Amino acid sequence: MSARRLLAASAAALTLLATLASVAAGHAIGQVFTLPVPRIVYFAGAGVAVAASFVVSVIALKPAGPVPHYPTRAIGDALARAASLALAVIGLGWWFGAIALGFVVDPISPLPAVLVWIGVWVGLPIAAVLLGNPWPSLSPFRTLMGMLEAAARRLGVERLDAGLTYPPGLARWPAVILLFAALWCELVLPGTSEPRSVALLLIGYTLVTLIGMIAFGRVAWLRNAELFEVLLGWFGRVGPIGRRVVAPEVCEGCGEGCDPERCVDCPECAVAADPGERRAVLRPWFAGLTEVQRAGWSDAAFIVLALAGVSYDGLKETAFWGSLMRPVFEAFGDAFGALNTVLLVQTGGLLVVWITFLVAFTAAAWLTRALHDRDRRVAPLGATAGAYAATLLPIAGGYLIAHYLTLVIQGAVWLPELVANPLSGAAPNLDFIPTSAVWYLSVAAIVIGHVVAVVLAHRLALRDAPRRAVLAGLPLVVLMVCYTVFSLWIIAAPITLEPGSTPAALLLR
């Protein structure tokens, strides 16, 4: 096969892949925005703002104890119960309704994909960042298992699960594997937006979750292995609506004294008590991230993978990525076939981005640990990496908003039309949203996320290395400044033009 024919076949395969996964694309804005100043000015300004926030943190923050104290306002029990019941009904209807629709609507209908890939996969993490984690009430698995357990008790069966002990060494690695599988289905696997494919994916995941809950118990599996429980649990720490554990005076899991008003999460507590037994409260944004007490390698790998996944999705939209892939197609397309080459390249690309992010973060965490006070006991590297990985969540949340908010808006506008006519194949136009507004919102979300991450990381350094906090915080600050520039470049590539440049669409006229 000639190089020209190979490139044509590769382009066709890429077009097919993009068409099949169009509902999971990032920006839903079709226009471009000509910047008033060069991109480098925005990049430099954002990097300086993030670096300056470290200086402000050094001046303003003082060493604090390990237990966070911040103002909270309780949400009325009646309101919380009503909201929880409504979310439980919506969760069951949304999840199992999407499964049913996958088998009954026309194969070309985008409705199931919009419900799942936009509504659940993209919309819920953004909702968790902006408001708080809805999944403990919304989860169809928690509700379904509760219903099955109630039915079993009526039949005289004391417990529905097999009573197996969840292996502590397994930590949250099952959730990491499931997150990678979900990202692979979203970003790599063709055809996952087709109704029947959506239904089969949901059925498969439902069976995996039910088997896990029956084997190890509802709480142990959900808290450690269920993808959405872990993902939205982490992102929900950013939002202002949280839950305080209503705990006994001494925790049955870890044996430590617990303040019912301010009990923090720990893996042992999660296994011992149902995390649904909590009091809903309003709190300052990002305050939930100060409660992270116990985390390890699996948490770090999970959070970095969540960040790498959305970054890779944006990276694929850049011309730079296309220029990197062209020689790969030329080298391997003839031997493996165009579509297989696309799958291999996309899978390898996702892995490379994740591993690169994880190596860079681990190196920064190792340097931070090495620079801690030498006369203090230093935590294992896994514990350090897990604790500092939580500070990346505002960055991931900001990038979610920057990259996917317009897609969620498009899905919300599209959904009523799709419910009325499932064959409505044309996504609504978002021309009423200026591209300049999308750009400045993206810049603000990314910069704010990085600034908050710097402040949280310095707070951790003050706790663990009060006399060398400035020095210990530098590796992560450098990493965050670099990622600020990188993420802004990804966001800018498809929607902005340098001053004085001409859009390609005009050049082709």
pLDDT in tens, 223-246: 999 999 999 999 999 999 987 765
C-beta of residue 390 within 8 angstroms of C-beta of residue 305? no
Percent of the chain predicted with pLDDT > 90:
56
177, exposed or middle or buried, with CB in 10 Å at 0-12, 13-18, 19+? Answer: middle
Looking at residue 174, its pLDDT comes to 97
pLDDT(509) > 80: no
Mean pLDDT of 347-353: 95
**Comparison of pLDDT for 11 and 130, the residue scoring more:** 130
Mean pLDDT of 324-352: 84
Q: How confident is the model at residue 399 (pLDDT cuts 50, 70, 90)?
A: very high
Looking at residue 359, its pLDDT comes to 97
pLDDT in tens, 317-329: 888 888 888 888 7
Looking at residue 19, its pLDDT comes to 33
For the chain, give percent helix, strand, coil, nearest 5: 70, 5, 30
pLDDT in tens, 240-296: 998 776 544 444 444 444 443 333 344 334 333 444 456 788 999 998 898 787 889
Q: Distance between alpha carbon 92 and the CA centroid of its chain, in Å? A: 22
The dihedral sign for the CA sequence 294, 299, 304, 306: negative
pLDDT(188) > 90: yes
pLDDT in tens, 441-450: 999 999 999 9
Look up the pTM and report it.
0.88
Mean pLDDT score across all residues of the chain: 84
pLDDT in tens, 131-177: 999 999 999 999 999 999 889 888 888 888 888 999 999 999 999 99
Looking at residue 293, its pLDDT comes to 75
Looking at residue 166, its pLDDT comes to 94
**Cα–Cα distance, 284 to 272 (Å, whole number):** 28
pLDDT(5) > 70: no
Looking at residue 318, its pLDDT comes to 87
**Cα–Cα distance, 204 to 218 (Å, whole number):** 18
**Cα–Cα distance, 298 to 170 (Å, whole number):** 9
Q: Other CB atoms closer than 10 Å to residue 167's CB: what's the count?
A: 11
pLDDT in tens, 53-79: 999 999 988 876 666 677 888 888 899
Sheet harboring 278-282: ordered strands across? 73-74, 278-282, 241-245
Tell me the two tokens of residue 362. 């681990």
Mention every residue, 6+ apart, whose C-beta is less than 8 A from residue 278: 136, 243, 244, 245, 246
pLDDT(95) > 90: yes
Least confident of 21-25, 287-291, 339-343: 21-25
Mean pLDDT of 183-193: 93
Angle at 241 between CA 235 and CA 242, to 5 degrees: 75
Q: Distance between alpha carbon 221 and the CA centroid of its chain, in Å? A: 19
Q: How confident is the model at residue 424 (pLDDT cuts 50, 70, 90)?
A: confident
Please provide residue 78's backbone torsions phi and psi, each rounded to the nearest 5 degrees: -65, -45
C-beta of residue 23 within 8 angstroms of C-beta of residue 117? yes
CA-wise closest residue to 196 among 188, 184, 208, 204: 204
Looking at residue 502, its pLDDT comes to 57
* CA–CA distances in Å: residue 248 to residues 70, 174, 245, 260, 292: 21, 29, 9, 7, 20
Looking at residue 400, its pLDDT comes to 95
CA-wise closest residue to 86 among 138, 34, 45: 138
